[in-house]
Amino acid sequence: MYMSHLECPKCSAKHDPHKIIQLCPECGAPLLVRYDLNKVKANLKKEDLVSRKPDLWRYRELLPLVDDKYKVTLGEGMTPLLALDKLGNKLGVELYLKDEGIIPSGTFKSRGAAVGVSRAKELGVKSLAMPTNGNAGASWAIYSAKADIDAYIVMPVDAPAITRNECAIAGAKLYLVNGLISDAGKIVGRAVAKLGCMDASTLKEPYRIEGKKTMGLEIAEQLNWEVPDVILYPTGGGVGLIGIYKAFRELQQLGWIGDKMPRMVAVQAEGCAPIVKAWEEKKTASEFWNNASTIAFGITVPKALGDFLVLDAVYQTNGCAVAVTDEAILKDQAELAAAEGAFVCPEGAANYTAAKKLRESGWIKPGEKVVLLNTGAGLKYPDTVQVAVPVLEPEQDIPV
Amino acid sequence: MYMSHLECPKCSAKHDPHKIIQLCPECGAPLLVRYDLNKVKANLKKEDLVSRKPDLWRYRELLPLVDDKYKVTLGEGMTPLLALDKLGNKLGVELYLKDEGIIPSGTFKSRGAAVGVSRAKELGVKSLAMPTNGNAGASWAIYSAKADIDAYIVMPVDAPAITRNECAIAGAKLYLVNGLISDAGKIVGRAVAKLGCMDASTLKEPYRIEGKKTMGLEIAEQLNWEVPDVILYPTGGGVGLIGIYKAFRELQQLGWIGDKMPRMVAVQAEGCAPIVKAWEEKKTASEFWNNASTIAFGITVPKALGDFLVLDAVYQTNGCAVAVTDEAILKDQAELAAAEGAFVCPEGAANYTAAKKLRESGWIKPGEKVVLLNTGAGLKYPDTVQVAVPVLEPEQDIPV
């Protein structure tokens, strides 16, 4: 076990990692897990990973679980990094898709849930509550079921229908709210106080981000420890982006990669772009986005608790933030499927739209190595595909 | 390249594997790919696999592709083998779930499509056609898109809706039929003659089965080359079961496993159980099942072309065939999700139902190592889960 302490990125206070803790007791900011990376460096070589199981637990030394007996796993991680040759050639770059659709529950949320629930179990948590745009709730519901933890999940009525099924069949205590994830968050806030359960809201516990961090570790390992030039990430709560940034920083400290960092791009929809607005105004925090709305439902987050960490990662890596339209997202979702066979979620397609925009503007240069993070399977969003299919009677023929 | 020839399991004729071939030209039976296994044995040790990428192409020497440049991959294979400790303890066995939901398009069909489409591309195929209960069509549509092959897909109107979306967004030529997969098959048969495309129907080309075979290779590798006592497989067309059986036979010839074979169990729904009926009557082929109907839609196959191969695998391994009710399937689908966090498809749940039945009857003995094959993600069958969720207004509380 190499976890050393919890650290507040705002006030720098250090905290004991061996008890249940939510936000920084001193200033209310989200906490980050720190490790004794010198000790990791001394005991682990990157070559040691080769023979390990292809899941996120291969990075055991960089994860916060103390005792493996609390590990709650459904086989998550080591998702494919696919070369998108056709679209890459079209854009004049080396294009990759990190496909988080190939994971339990079909979204990257399962990484956070696997590590978050495992650690909650280790700390003796019996029940937890969280607001969600659907996918995180589904993931936490199935991992909580496996861990025998009661999960209270609150999601907007507009969240993808399939995520309700996942929560329900896993036995979670599921509620819908006539409103946005921010409204769900307020209901959860009140419930946590009343029910005495752990608050598993985005960044209100420090372990979910450690699970998501493994996306960055995998990208580095899959590219044979060569750091890509650009990573595009669809940004709602932003934990994935923060996690990937944290991963590359830790890899630098381990000496497994050099000084180069990937330029991190926060991609949002024009209907909900608080991070983009803050970045354009060179601010270090975002403002609440009114009337948020986009078909990329997972990134409908009007104000993210970790906005300052997202913006910091973007600034520190000379990255940027880009907003794209719903119309372009849907068009590019179809282009990705028809050209590369990748049926990604709208949030994932938004990255491709953004990459095209940044390539056109010259911000992405010819030949650069560019990774699109597809956060989930298109399967979870059946309504984004319009189909009008001819129906034949058994005796009819396919028209020639 | 270790592929030596194509062999007819019925009339034993040998055929050239380097040209497009469908059924045995001499007797009309499905063909199987054969390899020079002595040469594989001399050139490959099972330890060599350890450092290979976690996808099905790790078994390169046992796959029919000649040149890697034709490989069409979306990152398929090396799906998790999950220990189901809670349910295993309940049944008094060592229970595992091979979870084929964690794969492109969310079902095991993508294994057959990856290898089948790759090989079709290598052989110069420009268009193909197939009937499907939905999932195979979706898989072949996305891999064909990646390979720039035109795909004509015909599926029953009752096939899962999401599979239409997958075909449509990948640009396949999709048709629905007012009927069953057998009706779709007849339409495809006529279209193949008229359009001059490859017939990609189940077992009408010899390569799909090679992709599915990798499930067996992975189970063996994941259990550290210790053969399980029982493997339960939901059986429609039966290619998965035939493939797994073929895998274990090849592993025996390689000397990577001993004489022991897993007892193969063909699981069907009571509403469509032609293989079970044939097995009960000790026959070597099945009869067409009239009025076939089950919520486990993927196994609604009234008469499988490879029925004799399925039955042979069952007889050769001292296995059996079991039919289960839709009612029990739905109940067990929920039990799997609530206890183990595994949201499997109805076909996958049917295996658990069958395992319970066989354990009760004593056919599965205490402490045996039992593998349930979950052929796909529950995500693809949203209608099997009934949810009645309370809706809150933002100012309302979760009831305590």
**List of chain A residues whose C-beta atoms are within 8 Å of the C-beta of residue B178:** 391-394
Contact between B177 and B183 (Cβ < 8 Å): yes
Residues 6+ apart with CB under 8 A from A383: none
Cα distance between residue B281 and residue B385, in whole Å: 35
Question: Is A187 close to B396, i.e. CB distance below 8 A?
Answer: yes
Say if residues A391 and A355 touch (Cβ distance below 8 Å): no
Distance of alpha carbon A276 from alpha carbon A297, whole angstroms? 17
Q: Which residue has the tokens 């280790």?
A: A122
DSSP per-residue letters across A14-30: EE-TTS---S-TTT-PP
User: Rounded to an integer, what distance in angstroms lies between the CA atom of residue A321 and that of residue A392?
Assistant: 48
Sign of the C-alpha dihedral, residues B124, B127, B130, B132? positive
CB contact (8 A) between residue A143 and residue B378 = no
CB–CB of B364/B230 below 8 Å? yes
Domains and CATH numbers, chain B: 81-105+209-379 (3.40.50.1100)
From chain A, the residues in CB contact with B380 under 8 A are 379
Inter-chain residue contact B394 with A186, CB threshold 8 Å? yes
- Dihedral over alpha carbons A339, A344, A348, A349 (to 10 degrees): 40
Count of CB pairs separated by less than 8 Å, A with B:
239
* Partner-chain residue, chosen from A176, A186, A396, that has the shortest CB–CB distance to B389: A176
Alpha carbons A2 and A224: distance in angstroms, whole number:
24
CB of B256 closer than 8 Å to CB of B41: no
Helix (H, G, I), strand (E, B) or coil at B174: strand
Residue A14: CB atoms within 10 A of its CB come to 12
Question: What's the N-to-C CA distance of chain B in angstroms?
Answer: 65
Q: Do A341 and B194 touch (CB under 8 A)?
A: no
Backbone angles phi, psi at A175, to 5 degrees: -130, 145
pLDDT in tens, B56-113: 999 999 999 999 999 999 999 999 999 999 999 999 999 999 999 999 999 999 999 9
**The residue to which tokens 């291969």 are assigned:** A58
Indicate the pLDDT class of residue B383, thresholds 50, 70 and 90: confident
Q: Return the pLDDT at A382.
A: 87
Average pLDDT estimate for B300-309: 93
Q: Using the beta-carbon criterion (under 8 Å), do B338 and A142 form an inter-chain contact?
A: no
Contacts of B174 in chain A (CB under 8 A): 387, 389
- What is the model's pLDDT at position A128? 98
What's the average model confidence in pLDDT over B268-278? 98
| Residue to substitute from B384, B389, B393, interface A, most A β-carbons within 10 A | B389
What residues of chain A lie within 8 A of the CB of B334, using their CB?
169
pLDDT in the model for residue B255: 98
Of A341, A393, A397, the CB nearest to B178: A393
Kindly determine whether residue A338 and residue B170, on different chains, have CB atoms separated by under 8 Å: yes
Contact between chains at A187 and B392 (C-beta distance less than 8 A): yes
**Separation of alpha carbons B342 and A169, rounded Å:** 10
The sign of the torsion formed by the CA atoms of A356, A357, A360, A366 equals negative
Mean of pLDDT over chain A: 96
Q: Which amino acid is at B231?
A: I
CA distance A376 to A292: 21
Q: Give the nearest chain B residue to A52 (CA atoms).
A: B50
C-alpha distance from B128 to closest chain A C-alpha (Å): 13
Residues of A in contact with B150 (CB under 8 A): none
- Residues of chain A with Cβ-Cβ distance to B80 below 8 Å are 55, 74-75
For B338, the closest of A145, A190, A396 (CB atoms) is A145
How far apart are the two ends of chain A, measured CA to CA in Å?
A: 65
Q: Which of B106, B190, B390 sits opposite A175 (nearest CB)?
A: B390
Question: Would you state the structure tokens that stand for residue A352, as one six-digit string?
Answer: 């491709």
Q: In what order do the strands lie in the sheet with A263-269?
A: A81-83, A94-99, A369-374, A230-234, A263-269, A320-324
In terms of DSSP bridges, do strands B3-7 and B14-15 run parallel, antiparallel, or are they unpaired?
A: antiparallel
Give CB contacts under 8 A, 24+ apart, made by A309-312: A309/A9, A309/A30, A309/A238, A309/A242, A310/A235, A310/A238, A310/A241, A310/A242, A310/A266, A310/A275, A311/A275, A311/A278, A311/A279, A311/A283, A311/A284, A311/A285, A311/A286, A312/A9, A312/A284
At A73 the pLDDT is 98
Look at residue A72 in the predicted model and tell me its pLDDT.
98
Per-residue pLDDT of chain A (400 residues), as tens digits, is 899 999 999 999 999 999 999 999 999 999 999 999 999 999 999 999 999 999 999 999 999 999 999 999 999 999 999 999 999 999 999 999 999 999 999 999 999 999 999 999 999 999 999 999 999 999 999 999 999 999 999 999 999 899 999 999 999 999 999 998 989 999 999 999 999 999 999 999 999 999 999 999 999 999 999 999 999 999 999 999 999 999 999 999 999 999 999 999 999 999 999 999 999 999 999 999 999 999 998 899 999 999 999 999 999 999 999 999 999 999 999 999 999 999 999 999 999 999 999 999 999 999 999 999 999 999 999 888 888 899 999 999 998 7
Q: Which residues of A touch B99 (CB under 8 A)?
A: 74-75, 104
Cα A386 to Cα A339: distance, rounded to the nearest angstrom: 18
User: Count of alpha carbons within 13 Å of B340, Cβ hemisphere only?
Assistant: 26
- Please provide the average confidence, as pLDDT, over all residues in chain B: 96
* Distance separating alpha carbons of residues B112 and B129, to the nearest angstrom: 15
How far from chain centre, in Å, is Cα A195?
28
CA dihedral angle for residue B70, residue B76, residue B81, residue B87, rounded to 10 degrees: -140
Return the ∠ at Cα A168 (arms to A166 and A171), rounded to 5°. Answer: 110
Return the residue of A nearest to B114 by Cα. Answer: A341
List the single residue in B80, B338, B391 with the smallest CB-CB distance to A157: B391
Which chain B residue lies closest to A192 (C-alpha atoms)? Answer: B398
Q: Which two tokens stand for residue B164?
A: 């239409």
In chain B, which residues have their Cβ closer than 8 Å to the Cβ of A171?
337-338
At B259, give phi and psi (nearest 5°): -75, -25
The side-by-side arrangement of strands in the sheet containing B198-199 is A391-392, B173-177, B150-156, B127-131, B198-199
Q: What is the pLDDT of residue A333?
A: 97
CB contact under 8 A, A195 and B398: yes
Q: Do the chains contact at B169 and A334, CB–CB below 8 Å?
A: yes
Alpha-carbon distance B245 to A339, whole Å? 35
CB contact under 8 A, A169 and B338: yes
- In angstroms, the CA A78 to CA A103 distance is 9
| Mean pLDDT (whole number) for B166-186 | 95
Which residue from B minimizes the CA distance to A135? B379
The answer to whether B267 touches B296, Cβ cutoff 8 Å, is: no
Contact B80 A387 (CB under 8 A): no
Going by pLDDT thresholds of 50, 70 and 90, the confidence category of residue B385 is confident
Cβ distance of B145 and A337 shorter than 8 Å: yes
Share of chain B above pLDDT 70, in %: 100
The Cα of A9 is separated from the nearest Cα of chain B by a number of Å equal to 31
Identify all chain B residues contacting A50, using CB atoms and an 8 Å cutoff.
50-51
Best residue in A47, A329, A344, A379 to probe B by mutation, most B CBs within 10 Å? A379
Nearest CA in chain B to A194: B400
Chain B residues closer than 8 Å to A302 by CB: none
Interatomic CA distance for residues A112 and B178, integer angstroms: 44
Q: Where are the alpha helices (DSSP H) in chain A?
A: 37-43, 85-91, 109-122, 135-147, 161-169, 181-195, 208-222, 239-254, 274-280, 307-316, 326-340, 346-360
User: Distances from the Cα of A158 to the Cαs of A179, A256, A324, A370, B15, in angstroms?
Assistant: 8, 43, 21, 32, 56
- Closest residue on chain A to B80 (Cα): A75
What does the DSSP assignment read for A54-112? SSGGGGGGGS--S-GGG---SS-----EEE-HHHHHHHTSEEEEEETTSSGGGBTHHHH
CB neighbours of residue B298 within 10 Å: 30
Q: Label residue B394 by pLDDT band (50, 70, 90).
A: very high
Q: Which residues of B touch A96 (CB under 8 A)?
A: none
Q: Which residues of B touch A169 (CB under 8 A)?
A: 333-334, 337-338, 343, 378, 385
pLDDT at B77: 98
> What pLDDT sits at residue B387?
83
Tens-digit pLDDT profile for residues B15-39 = 999 999 999 999 999 999 999 999 9
Distance from the A89 Cα atom to the nearest Cα atom in chain B, whole angstroms: 14
Size of chain A, expressed as the number of residues it contains: 400
A99: CB partners within 8 A, 6+ apart: A79, A80, A81, A82, A342, A344, A374, B74, B75, B104
Q: Which ranges of chain B would DSSP assign to H, the alpha helix?
A: 37-43, 85-91, 109-122, 135-147, 161-169, 181-195, 208-222, 239-254, 274-280, 307-316, 326-340, 346-360
A50 to chain B: nearest residue by CA? Answer: B51
A49 to chain B, minimum CA–CA distance in Å? 9
Q: Longest Cα pair distance anywhere in chain B, in angstroms?
A: 74
Q: Give A156→chain B minimum CA distance, Å.
A: 9
In angstroms, the CA B81 to CA B97 distance is 6
How is residue A320 annotated by DSSP?
Answer: E
What number of CA atoms fall less than 13 Å from residue B221's CA on the CB side? 27
Q: Is the pLDDT of residue B363 over 90?
A: yes
DSSP secondary structure of A361-393:
TTSSPTT-EEEEEE-BBGGG-GGG------EE-
List the single residue in B with minimal CA-CA distance to A74.
B82
Structure tokens of B306? 């490879």
